[in-house]
Amino acid sequence: MNFKKRAFLFGSLSGIFWGLDYTLAGQVHTLLTMTFLVSMWLTSIHDLGVAATVSIISKSSVKKVKDLKLWQIISICCIPLLGGLAMTMYMLSTRDISTGTAIIISSCYPAVGMIGARIFLKESLTPLKILGFIIVLIGITLTAYSELFDQANSIIGLSFAILAAIFWGLEGVIYKMVLNADVSANTLLFLRKISTIIIFLPFTWIIIDTVSIYVLLLIAAIGVIGYIADLAYMQAFKYSNVTLAMSLNITYIIWGPLFAFMLFDQSISILLLIACAILIFIGNYLIFKSKSVY
C-alpha cells in the first residue's frame, strides 16, 4: 500500500474512532453537572487511559521518551496547552453564539493547519487542495445548519470560535513537525497525554469528590478508543501532509451523530447526513488527488 492510500486509510479511521470516542464521552458528560473544571478533569482521566494503553501495548515507545531532544519535548508539551486552550475557546464560544456557528467556525482548523504548514513546513498550497477544503467546509456547514440560529451571534463568541480553530490548527502543525523528526507515533502520544495530565490534573483536584469513581473508570476505558483514534491520526500525519490528515480527521462530524443514532437512538436526518458525507468525501478526494500530498 503506497503512502497516499495509507494516509487516506489512517485519516478515515481517525475520523471514525474520534466520532465514537466523542459520542461515548459525550454520554458520560450527561451523567454529570458539567463545569469547566469537571470537563478538564474528565479530559485528564481520558488521556490517562490513552497513556496507559500506550504503556501496555508499546513499552519500548515509552522508554524512547528519554531519547527525545529538548525541542521535541517542549513542542510535544505545548500540544496539550494548544488543545486545551482550543477546547476552552470552543466551550466559551457556545455561550455567546449558536452551537452550529461554533462548530462551523472551529472546524476551519484544517485551513489554519494548511497555512501553518505552508509557513513552517513549506508544504505547497495547490488550487485543488484549496477547492477540496472549501467543499469539506460546505459539508460541515450542512451538518450544523439546523443549529445555526439557536441564538444570536456576538463578536465575543465569534472571536472565541476563531481562536479555537487557530489553536487546533497549530496543534496539527506541531504534530507534523515532531513526526517529521522521526519520533514514533506511540512515543509522541504517550508524552502528549502525560503532559495533559501533569498540566491539567493539579488544577482540577479540588473537584475529585464530586465525580463518581465509576464515571472515572468509564471515561478511562473510553480512553482505549481514544488511543486508536489518536494513533490513526498520527499515522495520517506521518503518511501525508497536514491538510489531508486534518480534513480526513474532521469526518468525525459525520460519524459522531451516526454512532449516537445507532448506540443511543438519538434522532438525526439520515438524508442530510448522507448529503454531508458525500460532500466531505468529494472534498477529501480532491485533496487526496492534489500533487502536494505524498
Contact 97, 212 (CB under 8 A): no
C-alpha–C-alpha distance, residues 68 and 98, integer Å = 43
Sorted by sequence, the CB contacts under 8 Å of residue 220 that are 6+ apart come out as 45, 46, 48, 49, 52
Q: Where in the chain are the domains?
A: 3-289
The SS3 assignment for 32 reads coil
117: closest CA among 43, 171, 66?
Answer: 171
Running DSSP on this structure, what letter comes out for residue 148?
A: T
Mean pLDDT, each 10-residue run in order, the chain (294 residues): 83 94 82 72 85 93 94 91 82 75 84 91 87 90 69 76 92 93 94 88 74 83 92 93 90 89 86 89 87 58
**174 contacts 237 by C-beta, under 8 angstroms:** no
At residue 90, the pLDDT reads 84
pLDDT at 294: 52
Residue labelled with grid coordinates 488543545: 83
Query: What is the structure's pLDDT at 150?
Result: 57
Q: Check: CB of residue 123 under 8 Å from CB of residue 117.
A: yes
Q: Tell me if 108 sits within 8 A of 165, measured CB to CB.
A: yes
- Compute the distance between CA of residue 51 and CA of residue 268 in angstroms, rounded to an integer: 34
* Residue 292, helix vs strand vs coil: coil
Q: How far apart are the first and last CA of the chain?
A: 13
Question: Can you give the pLDDT at residue 89?
Answer: 84
Per-residue pLDDT at 173: 94
For position 271, what pLDDT does the model report? 87
